[in-house]
Chain A
Amino acid sequence: MAVSSPSADLSAALVLQPVTALDWLVILPVAWCIGIGAILMMVRHRTGLQPLIAIAALCVLAGIDATLLWHVSQNGPVTMVMGRWLPPFGIAFTVDLTGALFALMAAVVALAGAIAAVTDINDSGRRYGFYPLLMLLMAGVSGAFLTGDIFNLYVWFEVLLISSFGLLVLGSEREQIDGAVKYGFLNLVATTLFLIATGYLYGIFGTLNMADIVVKARELRDAAPLTTLMALLAFAFAMKAAAFPVNFWLPASYHTPRIVVSALFAGLLTKVGIYALIRVSVMLFPVERQELSFVIALAGVLTMITGALGALAQTDTRRLLGYLVISGIGSMLAGIAVGGPGGIGGAVFYALHSMVVMTALYLAAGLAARLGGGFSLSSLAGLYTRHALFSALSLMLFFAVSGLPPFSGFWPKVMLVKSALDTGAWWLAAALLLTGFLTTIATARLFLLAYWRPAGAGAPSGEVALPATLLVPLIALTAVSILIGLFPETLLGLVQKAALTLNEPSRYLNSVFPAGSAP
């Protein structure tokens, strides 16, 4: 078997030097997820086998992503083009530190979800296809983090959206159908807006490769309506990320599916929107981001405050957590608005922290419902006497999400507040601190009512054992949060380097266009 080689000189259009095994790390996460998803589809009725395959596969995925992160941190961004075609002809997968960090964290979160699903998703849910959908969701998420092509990013958005539809209606209860209608329509509008922006982008640049756009944007900046394009993209991604005022689909739908599905959504989906916004606004259109920074900052402040106030007002634990997801998105938007290594690094760090902590919090809400018999704060009570370890874990997660030391939420908040003060945006720093305060009150209210309040007469009481498959992921994610909080140096260094690469993408460009073949 041989690679076909026509007679003409093809070095301008094709990659002709051999590809090393390490380069394959760029595409492997996606190919692996799709391949395993396909195998799981074929063994749909072997419900005992499915979790084993999926958990093993996600362990391997986390390994691949960790190796990829190591490779990228050592050697700079890595590129692989599909079918040897150089950009702008071929689709390029380019991974820099930001993408690798997000991909690794997503794999960790998905692994925790897959383990928790062993107990939470019953046989009929497995026959319906929970695990294949989870793997395809991970293919979409990994693809979105690793791709270097705008239209390809759109395709991965759709892949993860279709899988999330499947996961959302798993079980087909009335609540789920209701939530899915709102989730479906609004997310469809968001991705369509993204597609419209992609159409304009192609009309302006004649290319869809991100590195190519960076180069061409420098020349076209005065001649093309790039600010409008950036605004359209920012709006589409803000809708995906559930930023104010387009956040209403999230609290309407995130509490309806199985709790594991909610946890995975909270950890993965909105963060893909934030990642895409960071990628496009910081790397592709930095000048336009500067022009729009006030709008983004304002949206960020409103998102944080409405999220925190919404969390204060909720009586359903899952909806309360949904508002906390939104509030976190506001903090990331604030970082994007401030810009610079501090702001962008802070936003990336906050996103990584939020992926771990929000997933853990939803899993905790599921366990609380198992112990206390529901999700309503008016009936949940006395969880502390039912399971002390679980209560301690929950309290740590509440501290982490409020941004208190020594947990993972503290450091990104410090970075964001500091960079906001450095640029003179004192009101942004004040809003960040106020949000932290309101979040503390909201989670304290949750803890007081559900954990400390003595259970009424007739309510279930006494120590209860929890299934290990639910407790282990919770413990692991909490441990990750504590470790990040106590030893932040490694991650701080990585996110700052990631933000630098985004701000000054020359190494990214060099990886896509090796020396000499630049357009």
Chain B
Amino acid sequence: MEPVFALLTGIFLTIAIYLLLSKSIIRMLLGVAILGNAVNLLIFTSGRIMREVPPVIGPGLDVPAGPVANPLPQALILTAIVISFSFFAFLLVLSWRAYSTLGTDNTDEMRVAEPEDATLPPLGY
């Protein structure tokens, strides 16, 4: 099962990086969304995949009976999902604000903070 997931992670990462290289902010946002999923899948795969038993300790027991799936990657992914979701929400709002205040969604044209024609100081006095 792992090779399939590894391949899928690779495809996700490729798409995400391709989209992030774009100049349009909307495409970059889509890239960010896919990037988050690629990483989650990667953590899931690197924690070893096991399909039989969920990591739940039965009632009345102190330890699980028999082998169970590794619960840690799931906890890591849950954390990463919450964080990447909040990031995505922030960037989405930010991009919308940028579009409405700067009037463009092309990163090449966002030069307000880095003006190209700043007046130079005198060379002597």
Contact = CB atoms under 8 A, between A and B. Distances in A.
Nearest to B20: A189
A188 B46 contact: no
B113 A253 contact: yes
Contacts of B76: 151, 198-199, 202
Nearest to A157: B83
Contacts of B36: 192
B102 A185 contact: no
Interface in A221-242: none
Interface string B14-55: 000000100001001000100110010011011100000000
Interface in A431-455: 449, 453-454
B57 to A, nearest CB: 12
Nearest to B125: A453
A180 B118 CA distance: 21
B83 A158 contact: yes
Interface string A117-160: 00000000000000000000000000000000001000100100
A181 B25 contact: yes
Contacts of B120: 315, 378
Contacts of B121: 315, 376-378, 449
B86 interface: yes
Interface in A172-187: 172, 174-182, 184-185
Contacts of A151: 76, 79
Given A202-B46, A202-B73, A255-B113, A178 B102 contact: yes
B46 A315 contact: no
B112 A178 contact: yes
A10 to B, nearest CB: 10
Interface string B79-118: 1100110110011001101100110000100111110001
A108 to B, nearest CB: 29
Contacts of B91: 184-185, 188
Contacts of B101: 174, 177
Interface residues of B, number: 42
Interface residues of A, number: 43
A458 interface: no
Interface of A: 6, 8, 151, 155, 158, 162, 165, 169, 172, 174-182, 184-185, 188-189, 192, 195-196, 198-200, 202-203, 251-253, 255-256, 315-316, 376-378, 449, 453-454
> 8 tightest A-B contacts by CB?
A203-B46, A199-B43, A377-B121, A178-B113, A178-B112, A378-B121, A179-B113, A199-B42
27 contacts: A6-B62, A158-B83, A162-B86, A162-B90, A172-B97, A174-B101, A174-B112, A178-B102, A178-B113, A180-B94, A180-B98, A182-B113, A184-B90, A189-B35, A192-B35, A195-B39, A196-B42, A198-B76, A203-B45, A251-B114, A252-B114, A315-B118, A315-B120, A315-B121, A378-B120, A378-B122, A453-B125
Given A162-B90, A178-B111, 17 more contacts: A162-B87, A176-B113, A177-B94, A177-B97, A177-B101, A178-B102, A180-B98, A195-B80, A199-B42, A199-B43, A202-B47, A202-B72, A255-B113, A256-B113, A376-B121, A378-B121, A453-B125
Interface of B: 20, 25, 28, 32, 35-36, 39, 42-43, 45-47, 62, 72-73, 76, 79-80, 83-84, 86-87, 90-91, 94-95, 97-98, 101-102, 107, 110-114, 118-122, 125
